[in-house]
Structure 1
Amino acid sequence: MNILKEIAGRLCAAWALVTFIITFILVLPFALLSYLFKEPASTAYFIQVSKVWMHIWMFIIGCPVKIRGTENFQEGMGYIVTCNHNSLLDIPLSSAFIPGPNKTIAKNSFAKIPIFGWYYSKGSVLVDRKSEKSRKQSIEKMKAVLKAGMHMCIYPEGTRNRTSAPLKPFYNGAFKLAADTGHPVIPGVIIGTKEAVPLNKPFFFLPRTLELHFLKPVEVSGKGAATLKEEVFAIMTGYLRDRQ
């Protein structure tokens, strides 16, 4: 049975990759139209295209998507959305299904991929983690995103969680941004991506339901970054443990 599962996982991974490329090529001309608009309308349109793409691709690869808690977003308000990070599927899932225009803080290495790099960059605030100058510039760019009424999606664990714990320790960035700007934090809990794309198995994928749950906003209310980080970490950890 294990051998059959291993074979199935590789075949499904190949299918997912091929269909990702094909659907990306088909959706790209529509995404390019986002340049006809000014911000935030440009990103709003781009995210709608991404949402359609992800609905189609997730259906093709056998991963139904369940989104909960969208009522926690107040129209016209920009939020800092903090998501747990388990898999390469996390970013397309969160970016497409966060309600309203949003950008994701992301490392700049994927932006160098021909053609796809443009798409990746459009939905992101890019940062070179090795450059202090780039990190400082990314903070100002994220503040500009929030000021424009858009959301910023941040993965406070920094990298994918390879531990057995529900979450890795959080970095300060998302919470310092919240404390500096006063924008509330909405914890976003991603479920299912770790099982669909296990980190210990190269080029392996098995279809399953993917979920993204948006929890109630955490207001800044004069709290410092450290307090916000502890509060959001406790909320997300408790939510994940309740579902184990």
Structure 2
Amino acid sequence: MLFAFRAVVLTSYFLFGCILGLMLCIVRPFHRNNTRDCAKIFSLGRWLLNIKMTALNQSPVGDGQAIYVGNHQDTLDVFIYPGMLPGNIAILGKSSLRFIPVFGLLFWLAGNIFINRANKAKAWETMAAVARTVKKRGCAVYIFPEGTRSRGKGLLPFKSGAFALAIEAGLPVVPVVYSSTHKNINLHRFRSGKVLSRYLEPISTEGMGEGDVKRLAEMTRERMQQAIDELDVKLAAK
């Protein structure tokens, strides 16, 4: 019963958040902080779920340019993760998002970037085009390198896009990790659980080229997996 009630309330809040965010973006379309400020609206949803999130640190580059990569777990991410977003950031999302009523328009007006992932043969060219946009705008970018939600399966293999973009744009990769929600969150309980999050140290892409994409992806994934395990241990100890 509690889970069903929360599902209804959260769906309603998501629609409310989209409308409120859309109003903000209509007033100041493509503003450098639209994504962060709209994310704050959605992050209030975790209070409706009675989820406690603790951020252990702040971005090591502040509002500067970087390619942020995070672990993508489930639909709760949209309410739990946004509290960690810095300013001057755009989210890289699949092109199909533009067709979601209200949200697609909000995503675009907030200044986020759509990408067509269907043509894998042109992945490097696609990221080169995104890199030019990022350089021109002087913004940071947030990407889920797994490409889909893991749904309790742990950290999935990484796709190359985020790392090709980082190398092409000449920007560091900044991993941001969240404790495992499938282990620590239960929406059937009044107190649903806790989430810990942490930024890791930036990984420089200086001197790297197209041939280094796979190595950079593997290095980043190893560091993120280790950090996620550490956060889960912290929560278990509490």
Alpha-carbon RMSD across the aligned residues, in angstroms, is: 2.9
- Alpha-carbon distance, 1:17 to partner: 0.9
CA displacement 1:104-134 (0-9 Å, x = unmatched) = 2212223212222111223431123224699
The answer to whether the 8 A contact 2:180-2:228 is kept is no
Change (3 A) 1:180 1:27: closer
Alignment of 1:127 with 2:115, yes or no, is yes
CA distance in 2, matches of 1:98, 1:29: 20
Once the two structures are superposed, what CA deviation does each residue of 1:169-211 show, in whole Å capped at 9, x if it has no partner?
A: 111111122222220000111225445889xxxxx77643344
Question: Is the CA contact 2:127–2:165 (under 8 Å) kept in the aligned structure 1?
Answer: no
Distance in 2 separating the partners of 1:23 and 1:182: 34
Secondary structure of the 1:106 match is strand
AA at the equivalent of 1:221 = E
Normalised TM-score (structure 1): 0.77
Deviation for aligned residue 1:141: 2.5
Q: Distance in 1 between matches of 2:228 and 2:136?
A: 31
Provide the residue aligned with 1:32 in structure 2: 26
State the partner residue of 1:220: 205
User: 1:151 — aligned with what?
Assistant: 140
TM-score (structure 2 length as normaliser): 0.79
Contact 2:43 2:81 in 1 (8 A): no
CA distance in 1, matches of 2:151, 2:42: 25
Aligned residues: 225
Q: Corresponding residue for 1:242?
A: 230
8 A Cα contact 2:127 2:168, kept in partner: no
Structure 1 residue 92 displacement after superposition: 5.4
* 2:103 alignment counterpart: 116
- Identity in percent: 22
Number of the residue aligned with 1:183: 171
Please list every run of 5 or more consecutive structure 1 residues that lacks an aligned counterpart in the other structure.
1-6, 199-203
The worse-fitting range, judged by mean Cα deviation, of 177-186 and 124-133 is 124-133
Equivalent residue of 2:141, what SS? Answer: strand
Contact 2:21–2:106 (CA<8 Å) still a contact in 1? Answer: no
> How far 1:143 sits from its partner (Å)?
3.8
Query: Unaligned 5+ residue runs, structure 2?
Result: 233-238
1:51 and 1:74 map into 2 onto residues whose CA distance is 17
Q: What pairs up with 1:195-214 in 2 under 5 angstroms?
A: 207-214=192-199
Q: Structure 1's 93 and 78: CA in aligned 2 closer, same or farther, altered over 3 A?
A: farther
Alpha carbons 2:128, 2:168 under 8 Å: kept: no
One-letter code aligned to 2:201: K
1:53 to 41, 59, 68: 41
